[in-house]
Amino acid sequence: MMRTRLIAGNWKMHKTVAEAVEFVNDFRQAMPSSTAIDILLAPPFVSLFAIHQTMTANDRFTLAGQNLHWEKEGAFTGEISGPMLKALGCTFVLVGHSERRQLFGESNADVNNKVNAALEHGLGPIVCIGETLEERDAGKTQAIVKDQLLKGLSGLSAEKVSKITIAYEPVWAIGTGRAATIEQAEEVHTFIRATLTSEWGREVQDVRILYGGSVGPQNAEALFGCAEIDGALIGKACLDPATFAKICSLAVSAST
């Protein structure tokens, strides 16, 4: 079975609209044209419109939101809904990033609501899960990851789960320069795959499991060499067009 690798750039809270458009113009020049991988940009909401305006059918990347609210509209000051993201050309949306969980109090129940909303509005949810250093040191990695997975995807049919992407992002590896080793990532990815299969069966065997946490040109090749790793969710290293393009090229090399 072959899953197309997905390389996703999570810009977090970086770049103004003008900087975002400049990035995209530069990235178009530098990125690989291969169709062997999928490429996703997740800029801040305020830049989605301007980037979408520049896009053509020839573009080899698509857009994602970094978050969404579970209602489609209403009195939710400061929030953005699935239909709004869809109307701006988004195909995917991040759900439950560890920064949302840790800094903004998102629970597994919130993640579940958001996953349902994303699917309802035709967006592919990229569900982020991962343990803290304290949890890893206490030997709780698998228990935490399983809990986040089962609660975040609670009540979903196998058909719906088959449309989801999982991003395993150990919290201790995010923005620290201390990526998980290939063995550490492989072990958890294998566990996530086994958990998905035992809960939802073979219908979910093509769910992509991305790794995130200090991915850069220095470790991307080794990560993409691992059969369990279906791509990467990238923070810091996606902010520079040449660096992000380099990582995409390494994914192409690993896929062809």
The residue ranges that bind ligand 13P (CB under 6 A) are: 10, 97, 169, 174-175, 212-215, 233-237
Beta strand residue intervals within 13-132, DSSP E: 37-42, 61-65, 90-95, 124-129
Q: Is 11 annotated as a binding residue?
A: yes
Q: Which one of the listed residues 106, 131, 169, 228 is annotated catalytic?
A: 169
Return all residues near 151 (Cβ < 8 A) that are at least 6 apart.
108, 109, 111, 112
Question: Cβ closer to ligand 13P: 10 or 81?
Answer: 10
CB of 58 to ligand 13P, least distance (A): 27
Shortest CA distance to 229 belongs to which of 142, 170, 176, 168? 168
Question: Cβ closer to ligand 13P: 43 or 235?
Answer: 235
Name the token pair of 176: 């620290």
The residue number whose beta carbon is nearest to ligand 13P equals 235
CB of 236 to ligand 13P, least distance (A): 3
**Angle 91-185-178 from CA coordinates, rounded to 5°:** 95
Q: Is 12 annotated as a binding residue?
A: yes
Q: Rounded to whole angstroms, how far apart are CA atoms 61 and 28?
A: 9
CB of 191 to ligand 13P, least distance (A): 20
Q: Is 151 annotated as a binding residue?
A: no
User: Has 121 been annotated as catalytic?
Assistant: no
CB of 145 to ligand 13P, least distance (A): 16
- Counting DSSP H helices and E strands in the chain, the numbers are 11, 8
User: Has 97 been annotated as catalytic?
Assistant: yes
Three-state DSSP at 6 gives strand
Question: Cβ closer to ligand 13P: 124 or 200?
Answer: 124
Residues making up the binding site for substrate = 10-12, 175, 214
> Catalytic site residues?
97, 169
